[in-house]
Homo-oligomer: A and B are copies of this chain.
Amino acid sequence: MIRKPTSKEAARKPNMREAILAAAEELFATNGFNAVSVRDIALAAGANPGSVTYHFKTKDGLLLEIYRRHCGPMNLRRSELLAAAKRVRDLQDRLEAIVRAYVVPAFTSGSDLAGGGARFTRLRAVMSAEGNEVARKIIAQTFDDTSHAFIDAVHESLPHIPRTDIVWRSHFLLGALYYSLVTPERVSRLSRGEADGSDAAAAIEQLVQAIVAAFQAPALDQAAPARRRPVVGSKA
């Protein structure tokens, strides 16, 4: 194995750079980019403000590094799961597997720390809401491939639905996913304690169940305001 990080002083900060990254990730994800100062981050990481400048040059650079750290692994995981999902024979099962391949890494990726994937996804949600420029650029060029692959896969298993509808519905999926991570306490509150909004496993199951049904909704033909029959009973 690699014995680089070993040191005589074990109980100390083994890697200040990592501590700063983790603190920044947490603070940005819960308070937004602009509400958090470099000094806040340094304080939370037990570091000196100057260290942040040393390791990441600017505050934007720090955010950039957070994205660089997570995007690769998460998209890799997604494409692995997507490839596996596409091999599922049963059409209904395949659609569910595809949705799961998109949702699960958003909650559980992130190498070491517990809830690492969820924290990064929440960060993306908040940056997206704030219209953060750094994030906007990275997301468009890093996630669009993944999104297109996902949309195509869904479309293949639902060929009778126009691609436009699939795009809208996958957009809703991402919005629902984001919001679940941004305000989980609202779920607990509105359910009067019967559900726990921060239960990732529950959120995933609920999300997958709901979104699969949303994808399977009848196509929205823009010409006809005439009513259609619901397809509730189409369960295998």
Contact = CB atoms under 8 A, between A and B. Distances in A.
Interface of A: 30-35, 73, 77, 81, 84-85, 92-93, 97, 100-101, 104, 108-109, 111-112, 125-126, 128-131, 140, 144, 147-148, 151, 163-165, 167-180, 182-183, 186-187, 189-191, 194-195, 197, 201-207, 209-218, 220, 222, 227-228, 230-232, 234-236
Contact of A167 (B195, B212, B215): B195
Given A93-B228, A125-B129, A171-B179, A108 B210 contact: no
Contacts of A84: 231
A189 B140 contact: yes
B171 A231 contact: no
B210 A190 contact: no
Nearest to A203: B168
A220 B218 CA distance: 21
Contacts of A126: 129-130
B209 A211 contact: no
Given A125-B129, A172-B179, A191-B164, A216 B218 contact: no
11 contacts: A32-B131, A84-B231, A164-B194, A169-B210, A171-B180, A172-B206, A174-B179, A211-B214, A213-B231, A214-B214, A216-B230
Nearest to A173: B176
Contact of A168 (B140, B210, B231): B210
A93 B213 contact: no
Given A175-B178, A210-B169, A190 B144 contact: yes
Nearest to A170: B190
Nearest to A166: B191
Given A108-B232, A168-B207, A176-B179, 14 more contacts: A32-B32, A32-B130, A77-B235, A129-B130, A144-B189, A148-B190, A151-B190, A164-B195, A165-B206, A168-B187, A171-B190, A175-B176, A175-B180, A209-B220
A232 B144 contact: no
A171 B164 contact: no
B191 A206 contact: no
Contacts of A217: 209-210, 212-213
B210 A214 contact: yes
B230 A92 contact: yes
